[in-house]
């Protein structure tokens, strides 16, 4: 008892120290500004006025989701000092509204979508453990994101490289306010953008929970995820989406690998799925695996969760346009088509192969469709989405049915079979099916390779993601195993994690 | 007096209850049970995992009847619960030594 109070004290100590550090960083920044102020009024140059054309062009930039500083630039491509319009450095209400809605939708995917999808699939003695793990991810990742996560992933500037962002720039969300960050969205407040991207960082480690369900200590999961975010997720998200990222083919002209990933096929699904496979193999199977019945305790909860995931995924995919524009609209359509096709096709395959079209089959198909369309949704047309939907049903079906049985790893809720396999296949399919007809941004830096050799770049990105996820997870899992241990005692596991780890029961009759 | 225990398919419960009432049976106790006979169990498949479920859900009826009513009650259950397919269930009939109505302390046939 006493030692747990000391642990708690340490945790709050750490948080307090982080908060203090953030205040100091702010103070240091504020100092030079204060010193410079008195000199300013001495020489007041005449403030340039925007022309009517410039003001109209700025409003048009809002409608077309383009750069509002563009119409203000002079012959040399620079905005004259002091030239502003009413739309300079403010968010566009429509784009902002959609991104705040999208952020809430992506959070809804985890809480409670994924929690119920996974929670229904475990035995009833472990339902709360899954819910606790999803809530734990939301809290822990938010703290990391505030302290340095956003900075590592999205801070550009001189301190940023191809692998990791500039820590000092936005640490503790310093300077992340309602003014848009033009690197990622001309019309979306940076604080909204930051919160939106944080929701992705929350759901990614929560996906891993599926593979290791029912048999890992809560403390070990939280430690693993804390380290995994730093070692695997932040660098990977920066490489794929950071403005200077190593694999950001769409926006970074200097990207070494000119790959594309619209909403996270590599960053979210490949990374979590492959890490889940490695972690579940190091952890070992559940006690009684293959001998005892481990059927889902509630297909009703599972289906409810699946519906929430599907709805939330519109924020995930269409929101990844970081605007309420035509690219988002296309992503909305392709997401729907691929998901519905995969959902139905999985049911049909099951009916032909096993004789029943099951609820779990429809749910698995829907999630697989959502996963595979994720990297492609903003880059493919309706035909591409249908092809992806069919692939999403067929290939993961083979993995969860035959491959898992053959190799005998206990990927309890099929995180590997659906997310790793689906994410990898989606990243590759995007290379073949992407077309600039639905997304003109593909013409900016990738005009020469789209429809030709883009798939080779995708293969390279898949390789980098796979190596980072596998090696990172191997190291972290063994560190956690050697320090606090991965598994609860046999008694705890047999009795259930709910009453032992969380002191509660899911169902009291 | 006889004690009749019948194991039937759950969806036949209403028909059986009505047939018994028509046959003059005034009370019964019903329990949801699980078990198997020649029908055996079934398999459930969750993605790649296949589980055999040995015990199927059934309904168990227990009723105490006078010797005169016993044959009519058994005939009523048999007629109402029959589908002709495997798994229709069983009826067990056994002698009943004593019946006591707790409220009045009545014994024997009058207590039924």
Per-residue pLDDT of chain A (509 residues; tens, 9 = 90+): 555 556 655 656 556 566 555 555 555 554 454 444 555 555 666 788 999 999 999 999 999 999 999 999 988 989 998 899 999 899 999 999 999 999 999 999 999 999 999 999 999 999 999 999 999 999 999 999 999 999 999 999 889 999 999 999 999 999 999 999 999 999 999 999 999 999 999 999 999 999 999 999 999 999 999 999 999 999 999 999 999 999 999 999 999 999 999 999 999 999 999 999 999 999 999 999 988 999 999 999 999 999 999 999 999 999 999 999 999 999 999 999 999 999 999 999 999 999 999 999 999 999 999 999 999 999 999 999 999 999 999 999 999 999 999 999 999 999 999 999 999 999 999 999 999 999 999 999 999 999 999 999 999 999 999 999 999 999 999 999 999 999 999 999 999 999 999 999 999 97
Strand-pair partners of A125: none
Report if residue A23 sits inside a domain.
no
Does the residue A12 lie in any domain?
A: no
- Residue from A328, A79, A315, A321 nearest A186 by CA: A321
One domain, residues A55 and A161:
no
Residues A75 and A143 in one domain: no
Cβ pairs bridging A and B (under 8 Å): 27
Same domain, A426 and A361: yes
Q: Are residues A370 and A313 in the same domain?
A: yes
Residues A250 and A390 both lie in one domain: yes
* Residue B86, domain extent: 2-111
Strand segments, DSSP code E, in chain B are: 2-8, 29-35, 42-46, 49-53, 56-65, 89-95
- Over the range A349-378, which residues count as b (16 or more CB within 10 Å of their CB) and which as e? bbeeeeeebbbbbbbbbbbbbbbbbbbbbb
**Residues in chain A within 8 Å Cβ distance of B51:** 293-295
* Residue-range definition of the domain harbouring residue A84: 43-88
Whether A401 is in a domain gets the answer yes
Contact list in B for residue A400 (CB cut-off 8 A) is 47-48
Residue A16 forms part of a structural domain? no
Q: What CA–CA distance (Å, rounded) separates A222 from A232?
A: 15
CATH code for position A109: 1.10.3430.10
A313 and A351 co-located in one domain: yes
- The answer for residues whose C-beta is within 8 angstroms of residue A101's C-beta and 6 or more apart is A315, A319
Domain tally for chain A? Answer: 2
Same domain, A68 and A136: no
Q: Inter-chain contact A404–B48, Cβ cutoff 8 Å?
A: yes
Establish if A24 belongs to a structural domain. no
- pLDDT tens per residue, range B76-97: 999 999 999 999 999 999 999 9
Residues A300 and A397 in one domain: yes
Whether residue A6 lies inside any domain: the answer is no
Nearest Cα of chain B lies from the Cα of A296 at a distance, in angstroms, of: 8
Looking at residues B59-76, what average pLDDT do you find? Answer: 96
From A392's Cα to the closest Cα of chain B, the distance in A is 15
Q: Determine if the peptide bond prior to A154 is cis (ω within 30°).
A: no
In a domain, A274, yes or no: yes
Q: Are residues A296 and A400 in the same domain?
A: yes
Residues A53 and A128 in one domain: no
CA atoms within 13 A on the CB side of B19: 16
CB of A278 within 8 Å of a chain B CB? The answer is no
Closest chain B C-alpha to A291 CA, distance in angstroms:
10
Q: Check if the beta carbon of residue A236 is closer than 8 Å to that of residue A266.
A: yes
Interchain proximity A400–B44, CB inside 8 Å: no
Residue A242 sits in the same domain as residue A332: yes
For residues A431 and A450, the answer to whether their CB atoms sit within 8 Å is: no
**CATH assignment at residue B32:** 3.30.70.120
Cβ–Cβ below 8 Å for B48 and A401: yes
Q: How many independent structural domains does chain B possess? A: 1
Instruction: Scan residues 81-110 of B and list those with Cβ closer than 8 Å to A.
Output: none
- A358/B48 touch (CB, cutoff 8 Å), yes or no: no
Chain B: residue nearest A397 by CA? B47
Which residues 19-58 in chain B show a CB within 8 A of chain A? Answer: 44-49, 51, 53
**Is the same domain home to A434 and A491?**
yes
């Amino acid at each position: 008892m006493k030692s747990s109070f000391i642990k708690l004290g340490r945790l709050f100590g750490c948080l307090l120290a982080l908060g203090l550090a953030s205040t100091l960083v702010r103070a240091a920044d504020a100092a030079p500004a204060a010193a410079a102020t008195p000199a300013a009024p001495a020489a007041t140059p005449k403030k340039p006025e925007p022309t009517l054309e410039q003001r109209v062009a700025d409003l048009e930039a809002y409608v077309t989701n383009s750069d509002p500083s563009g119409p203000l630039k002079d012959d040399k491509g620079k905005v004259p000092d002091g030239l502003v319009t009413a739309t300079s450095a403010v968010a566009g209400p429509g784009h902002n509204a959609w991104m705040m809605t999208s952020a809430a939708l992506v959070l809804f995917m985890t809480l409670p979508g994924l929690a119920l999808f996974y929670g229904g699939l475990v035995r009833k003695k472990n339902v709360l453990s899954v819910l606790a793990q999803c809530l734990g991810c939301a809290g822990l990742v938010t703290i990391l994101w505030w302290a340095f996560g956003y900075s590592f992933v999205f801070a550009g500037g001189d301190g940023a490289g191809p692998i990791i962002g500039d820590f000092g720039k936005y640490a503790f969300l310093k300077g992340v306010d309602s003014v848009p960050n033009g690197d990622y969205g001309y019309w979306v407040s940076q604080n909204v953008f930051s919160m939106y991207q944080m929701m992705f960082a929350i759901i990614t480690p929560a996906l891993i929970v599926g593979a290791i369900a029912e048999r890992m200590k809560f403390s070990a999961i939280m430690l693993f995820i804390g380290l995994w975010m730093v070692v695997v997720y932040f660098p990977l998200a920066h490489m794929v989406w950071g403005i200077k990222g190593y694999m950001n083919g769409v926006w970074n002209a200097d990207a070494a690998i000119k790959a594309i990933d619209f909403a996270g096929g590599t960053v979210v699904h490949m990374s979590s799925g492959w890490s889940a496979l490695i972690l579940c193999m190091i952890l070992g199977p559940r006690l009684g695996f293959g001998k005892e019945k481990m059927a889902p305790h509630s297909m009703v909860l599972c289906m409810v969760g699946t519906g929430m995931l599907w709805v939330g995924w519109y924020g995930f995919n269409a929101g990844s346009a970081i605007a309420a524009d035509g690219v988002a609209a296309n992503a909305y359509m392709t997401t729907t088509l691929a998901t519905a096709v995969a959902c139905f096709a999985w049911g049909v395959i099951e009916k032909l192969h096993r004789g029943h079209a099951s609820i779990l089959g429809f749910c698995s198909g829907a999630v697989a469709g959502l996963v595979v369309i994720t990297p492609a949704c903003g880059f493919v047309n309706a035909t591409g989405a249908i092809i992806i939907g069919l692939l999403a049903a067929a290939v993961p079906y083979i993995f969860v049915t035959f491959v898992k049985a053959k190799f005998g790893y206990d990927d309890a809720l099929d995180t590997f079979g659906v997310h790793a396999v689906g994410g990898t296949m989606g990243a590759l399919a995007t290379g073949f099916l992407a077309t600039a007809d639905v997304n003109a941004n593909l013409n900016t830096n990738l005009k020469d390779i789209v429809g030709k050799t883009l798939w080779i770049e995708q293969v390279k990105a898949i390789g980098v993601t796979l190596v980072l996820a596998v090696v990172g997870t191997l190291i972290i899992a063994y560190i956690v195993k050697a320090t606090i241990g991965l598994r609860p005692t046999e008694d705890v596991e047999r009795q259930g994690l709910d009453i032992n780890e969380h002191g509660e029961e899911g169902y009291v009759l | 007096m006889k004690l009749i225990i019948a194991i039937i398919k759950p969806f036949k419960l209403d028909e059986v209850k009505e047939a018994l009432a028509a046959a003059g049976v005034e009370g019964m106790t019903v329990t949801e049970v699980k078990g198997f006979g020649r029908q055996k169990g079934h398999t459930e498949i969750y993605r790649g995992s296949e589980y055999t479920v040995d015990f199927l859900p059934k309904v168990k009826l227990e009723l105490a009847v006078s010797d005169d009513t016993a044959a009519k009650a058994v005939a009523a259950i048999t007629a109402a619960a029959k589908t002709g397919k495997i798994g229709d269930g069983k009826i067990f009939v056994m002698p009943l030594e004593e019946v006591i109505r707790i409220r009045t302390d009545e014994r024997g046939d009058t207590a039924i």
